[in-house]
A and B are shown apart, each in its own frame.
Chain A
Amino acid sequence: MSTNLNIEIKEVFFQIFPDLNESNFDWKKKQNDYEDWDSFSQLNLITMLEEKFSISISDMDSISIRSAEDALNFVKNRK
């Protein structure tokens, strides 16, 4: 998993969650396993994904994004 899109999604996660880095990043790690993935981080993640990939994410869709992998798949399907 090292396409440009993967790198870009990872960059978004690094921005939103400052404690993340290459060594502890895990595509499958779920929201509950992040200490700082609260409702506001969720909002900022969605805003950043929308802005970076020029897509629109509805409130319902945003709830379904619970991991970096979810975000990657969602953006892939939209692009």
Chain B
Amino acid sequence: MNTILENFKKYVKNSPEKPALIFDDEIISYKKLNELVNALSNSLLYLKKGSIVSIFLDNSIDFVISYLGILNAGMIAHLIPINLSDEKIKQQLENAIPELVISSQSLIEKIKNIPYNCKKITVIDLINNTSTKQDDISHTNDIAYLIYTSGTTGVPKGVPITHENVEFTTSNIITKLNYTSSDVNLLPLPLSHSFGLGCLHASLSVGSTLILLKNATNTLSILESIKKNNVTTLAAVPLTLNKILKEHKNLCSNYLNNLRLIITNSTSIPVDTVKTYREILKNGKLATYYGLTEASRSTFMIFEDSGREESVGKPPSGIEIKIQNESTNELEIGEILIKGKNVIKNYWMNEKANKKIINDWLSTGDLGHKDMDGYLYLSGRLDDLINIAGEKVMPADIEKVVKVLTGVEDVLAIGMKNEMYGEVIKIFVKKLINTKITKSEILSHCIKNLESFKVPREIEFVNDFSSDEFGKMKHFRGE
């Protein structure tokens, strides 16, 4: 296996004029990208090997130049999502201890206002201010990049990803999803997240073209970009895929008929969405995967035949998954454990978090089970289990039952503290526009269709859910 940079440089040599990246109206070839990557690496050579350099950039060509430039200089890229609060950014900087933060004209003021003392500079200024001019730099370091997981409480955990992790995962992505140099890949996902970054790695490693979009909310621009650029693969979260169907279903068969692949990720995909995309993609496939930042792309699922629409698939060769529960029966729900070259060895300076990794097995905190053929199904988070007088309830069990009611768009179930029962269930319900469903109707439906201990104690109608950029609903706690 080769590193991402070795793969990328192969195509710099073999197909220098081929577009590597497209962003807005800017097209950048493999050759030009390599020149800029080298220029950025040159500007970092005053730092010692293995230094941390943070990237605080939105999706852009500058992001890719910075990222590859840092790796190429033998340093560690710390990726900061731009939508974080100032406090969270400060926590990350204080934990990662970067020598430098690279940003853009539009974001530099925000990062300068964070009280962490180091050099903060734009990509342009960094490249223009350097006097070192080595032609081709190629330094290495064990760790490629550092991403912090978005914990809802406490300080986020740093996840250092090695070049070996990246090589293994990229090879799995390419093999399982058949990426080739003839692909044109559309990415409306943040590069500061493992999903988006994995797509960049795959695209550059096979010498294909990657089209970057800044966000996934404008579904029409996604469809137009697919048509205009003859896109062959789209990577999008389930939320975006649902939004496309909701807003532009009539355009889908025309705009998506050239796609050979839509890859999404492991937050629950409604079965109907899977079925609809399977019908739309006459010449292509819908696929999903399950993974964590700490264990990227641990399974792959290509929805070819009906019957397993709710599964996230099986692990590729070299990755093991086991279900840990009291019955030691993997067909029953338990915590998912992962082992393989995609799994990190340890967290970033966090002894407490390191206890989650024992003998190379990572305890994910996710719940799931396997079927007889070894396909994995996700059920929820161990942390989200609601304990009602000793009875353990998964929020998804309740959400699934309430979701089938006409007039209900979405549901979120949480545990609410209760003196008598320990916890009771509260559900937040988002109604469809112009529907008049009542709380009594929902409650009656629950009483009819749920075991008695799973019936919600409280129902609250909400206009919307707090949803993070990756489409995972946050389980916000009741007071």
One digit per residue, 1 when the CB lies within 8 angstroms of any chain A CB and 0 when it does not, for chain B 441-466 equals 00110011000110111110000000
Chain B residues with a Cβ under 8 A of chain A: 388-389, 391, 419-421, 424, 439-440, 443-444, 447-448, 452-453, 455-459
| CB contact between A51 and one of B388, B389, B424, B443 (< 8 Å): that residue | B443
B232 CB to nearest chain A CB (Å): 52
Residue pair B444, A44 in contact (C-beta under 8 Å): no
- CB contacts (< 8 Å) of A41 on chain B: these are 452
B401 CB to nearest chain A CB (Å): 14
30 A-B contact pairs sorted by A residue (CB < 8 Å): A15-B444, A16-B447, A39-B389, A39-B421, A40-B388, A40-B391, A40-B453, A40-B455, A43-B452, A43-B455, A43-B457, A44-B447, A44-B452, A44-B455, A47-B443, A47-B455, A47-B456, A47-B457, A47-B458, A48-B440, A48-B443, A48-B444, A48-B447, A51-B439, A51-B440, A51-B443, A51-B459, A52-B440, A59-B419, A59-B420
Within 8 A of B (CB), among A33-75: 38-41, 43-44, 47-48, 51-52, 59
- CB contacts (< 8 Å) of B457 on chain A: these are 43, 47
Counting contact residues on chain A (CB < 8 A from B), the size range is 10 to 19
A16 to B455, CA, bound (A): 11
A60 CB to nearest chain B CB (Å): 10
- CB contacts (< 8 Å) of B389 on chain A: these are 39-40
Residue of B nearest to A46 (CB): B457
- CB contacts (< 8 Å) of B439 on chain A: these are 51
Interface of A, helix, strand, loop or mixed by DSSP: helix
| CB contact between A38 and one of B388, B424, B447, B452 (< 8 Å): that residue | B452
A64 to B468, CA, bound (A): 44
A47 to B421, CA, bound (A): 14
B440 CB to nearest chain A CB (Å): 5
Given A40-B453, A47-B455, A51-B443; 20 other pairs, CB 8 A cutoff: A15-B444, A15-B447, A15-B448, A16-B447, A39-B389, A39-B421, A40-B391, A40-B452, A40-B455, A41-B452, A43-B424, A43-B452, A43-B455, A43-B457, A44-B455, A48-B440, A48-B444, A48-B447, A59-B419, A59-B420
A34 to B444, CA, bound (A): 20
Please name the 3 residue pairs, one residue from A and one from B, whose CB atoms are nearest each other, closest first. A40-B452, A40-B453, A44-B455
